[in-house]
């Protein structure tokens, strides 16, 4: 399905990013993950990638740092000769009510979650233009569409990703590069495991399908968009959320 392709997954060491990396490898793609700091987790992901028979490479990259991103993409292209799929998945949370939110909490989240996607996208455009094709998939969030108290920074970044998706899609459509966003709902990961039980229960009651999603649910949607099956879809936001948001 994705044989001969190279995919870059940011935030690929854990959670949704790990599931995406392994799923794309199972579909035939060689995988590069960017990770922020958890070296052990990154190695575990790469080990799972290699078990599928594909090549795997983990690079420690701060996605909000242009020099690091450019250097990493250069390494990807020199190692694999190409980059076909970029999944902008790296994300952090610094939750706080807006009136208590520190400037630093705002800046950190915007830098990683939004600027990181901008820098990684900018860095893959050149190789993708040369290849006359590519797939860029931005991992947004249900809260980027619906809003969520206590997450003004995260929500702003995730909504920003949807705007970035639409504009990049329009700019690159004539060159065979598709750009889409996926908006996960409540997915069981390290990021959501820290939430308290009462809040989790309340969230579950708001999911029409009645249960939380898994990282694999998101990975399947990414695989679809990254493959030939998704070739006619661009500029869209796919909601993988058990029905929480219906447009």
Cα distance between the two ends of the chain: 30
Return the residue matching tokens 């993988």: 240
Q: For other proteins, which stretch binds (CB under 8 A), given 68-76, 77-85, 111-119, 124-132?
A: 124-132
Q: For other proteins, which stretch binds (CB under 8 A), given 18-26, 155-163, 166-174, 178-186?
A: 166-174
Contact set for other proteins, span 24-63 (CB under 8 A): none
Figure out which of the listed residues 129, 191, 233, 245 binds other proteins, where binding follows CB under 8 A. 129
Return the residue matching tokens 């920003």: 160
Return the residue matching tokens 């990770």: 35
Q: Which residue out of 35, 154, 211, 232 is catalytically annotated?
A: 154
Q: Does 130 bind other proteins (CB under 8 A)?
A: yes
Please give the Cα distance from 235 to 104 (Å, whole number).
31
Q: Given the complex with other proteins, which of 89 and 165 has the nearer CB atom?
A: 165
Q: Does 171 bind other proteins (CB under 8 A)?
A: yes
> Are the CB atoms for 91 and 215 separated by under 8 Å?
no
- Sequence length of the chain is 247
What tokens does 121 get?
Answer: 């996208």
Residues whose CB falls within 8 Å of the CB of residue 29, separated by 6 or more in sequence, listed in order: 2, 3, 5, 6, 7, 54, 84, 85, 226
Figure out which of the listed residues 3, 40, 78, 174 binds other proteins, where binding follows CB under 8 A. 174
- Report in angstroms how near the CB of residue 91 gets to other proteins at its nearest: 28
Q: Tell me whether residue 232 is one of the annotated catalytic residues.
A: no
Q: Given the complex with other proteins, which of 51 and 171 has the nearer CB atom?
A: 171
Q: Given the complex with other proteins, which of 155 and 177 has the nearer CB atom?
A: 177
- For residue 60, the surrounding DSSP H or E stretch is strand 56-60
- Report in angstroms how near the CB of residue 86 gets to other proteins at its nearest: 18
- Report in angstroms how near the CB of residue 129 gets to other proteins at its nearest: 6
> Helix 152-172 to helix 103-110 angle, to the nearest 10 degrees?
30
Q: Given the complex with other proteins, which of 127 and 215 has the nearer CB atom?
A: 127
Q: Given the complex with other proteins, which of 39 and 126 has the nearer CB atom?
A: 126
Q: Does 175 bind other proteins (CB under 8 A)?
A: yes
41 vs 156, 176, 212, CA distance in Å? 28, 34, 23
- Return residues touching other proteins (CB under 8 A): 126, 129-130, 171-172, 174-175
Instruction: Please list the active-site residues.
Output: 154
């Amino acid at each position: 399905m994705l044989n001969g392709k190279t995919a870059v997954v940011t935030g690929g060491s854990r959670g949704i990013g790990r599931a995406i990396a392994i799923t794309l490898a199972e579909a035939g793609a060689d995988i590069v993950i960017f990770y922020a700091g958890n070296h052990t987790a990154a190695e575990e992901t790469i080990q799972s990638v290699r078990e599928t028979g594909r090549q795997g490479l983990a690079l420690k990259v701060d996605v909000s740092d242009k020099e690091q991103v450019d250097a990493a993409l250069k390494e990807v292209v020199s190692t694999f000769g190409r980059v076909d799929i970029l999944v902008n998945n790296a994300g952090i949370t610094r939750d706080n009510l807006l009136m208590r939110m520190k400037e630093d909490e705002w800046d950190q989240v915007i830098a990683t979650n939004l600027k990181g996607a901008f820098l990684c996208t900018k860095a893959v455009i050149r190789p993708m233009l040369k290849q006359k094709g590519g797939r860029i998939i931005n991992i947004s969030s249900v809260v980027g569409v619906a809003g969520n108290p206590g997450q003004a920074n995260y929500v702003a970044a995730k909504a920003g990703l949807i705007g970035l998706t639409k504009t990049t899609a329009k700019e690159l459509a004539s060159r065979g590069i598709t750009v889409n966003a996926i908006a996960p709902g409540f997915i069981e990961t390290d990021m959501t495991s820290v939430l308290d039980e009462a809040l989790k229960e309340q969230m579950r009651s708001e999911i029409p399908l009645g249960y939380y999603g898994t990282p694999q649910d998101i990975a399947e949607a990414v695989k679809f968009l990254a493959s030939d099956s998704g070739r006619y879809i661009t500029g869209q936001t796919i909601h993988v959320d058990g029905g929480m948001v219906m447009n």
